Structure 1
């Protein structure tokens, strides 16, 4: 819950609102979002991580992003990753570094349970996400048709396999 105020601030970014499937406008939305992350961890099927940047003189870092592993089911060979980066942190390699860390963690943690591949989806016109996927060795797989409201436009599906 300590990140709610920062989450609200970050969510004011127009670009983030364009690409995100959910936005946080107030304390109630923020608390609901954090509680959803906590429920995912408790259920063992959705693992969200706040991405923090160290701040001199501060015990807690500044919120610069979020990375997520979802749809984790025992014996299921694939799961999905997602991420976002705060406007003030874009262009500094935050997304590729955190996605690579999440990818390694996911395969290290769940490969023995059957995880073989991770999928990354983004809207076809989100060129920055496409570059992040490519940098992190998520191969382009296919174009997905729009699926409103979460994906109002066509999307790209990228796949990363354990053997990469």
Structure 2
């Protein structure tokens, strides 16, 4: 996948810079390792990234997802100059885009929280997904019940609460919320 094939923009607000979403690159590994130094990232993420080598492996998995078409992951960058490059602020992903209910996911770097980065990036990904995949009619979003920030992001971006998912350890150790967004809503 050529990094220039997909590039999304999420506009600036009065209190936040513009966002650029693009496929992950190996040079993002340094910033990714720094982001995972945050205790909140380690709490909510199912992935462990302890150093730059782990980050490089993770980025390679994301790139393999693009090549297979099964996991379309974007680095979210805060931009100011309009060149599409900037500081790593988060991640959004569309999983199994050709399946019956593709799932979206996201995280936000500590320095970018509280400024609408997650909701703007998720909104851009959602709009892109419904445009890029003509037959796509619904997207799902899952989060642990105690992740109130993710619940707010889901609701803010039009993913309505759809039900409780019971824990399924070890992969899903706690109950979760299922949110759904339907095309055109």
Q: TM-score surpassing 0.5?
A: yes
- Pairwise CA RMSD of aligned residues? 1.6
> What runs of 5+ residues in structure 1 fail to find an aligned partner?
none
- CA offset digits 1:93-128 (Å, max 9, x no partner): 000000000000000001x2x211100000000000
Runs of 4+ residues over 3 Å off in structure 1: none
> What is residue 153 of structure 1 aligned with on the other side?
174
Q: TM-score, normalised to structure 1's length?
A: 0.92
Measured at CA, do residues 109 and 133 of structure 1 come closer, stay the same or move farther in structure 2, by a change above 3 Å? same
Bigger Cα displacement from structure 2, 79-88 vs 18-27: 18-27
Measured at CA, do residues 31 and 135 of structure 1 come closer, stay the same or move farther in structure 2, by a change above 3 Å? same
- CA offset digits 1:9-51 (Å, max 9, x no partner): 1001111111111121112211110000100101112110000
1:99 aligns with 2:148: no
Q: How many residues align?
A: 159
Q: Aligned equivalents of 2:49 and 2:126: distance in 1?
A: 26
> What runs of 5+ residues in structure 2 fail to find an aligned partner?
1-25
Q: Aligned equivalents of 2:171 and 2:116: distance in 1?
A: 26
Q: TM-score, normalised to structure 2's length?
A: 0.82
Bigger Cα displacement from structure 2, 146-155 vs 30-39: 146-155
Bigger Cα displacement from structure 2, 117-126 vs 146-155: 146-155
Q: How does 1:26-37 map to 2 (within 5 A)?
A: 26-37=51-62
Q: Aligned equivalents of 2:85 and 2:100: distance in 1?
A: 36
8 Å Cα contact 2:71/2:96 also seen in 1: yes
- CA offset digits 1:139-160 (Å, max 9, x no partner): 1001101122332110000000
1:133 alignment partner, SS class: helix
1:25 alignment partner, SS class: coil
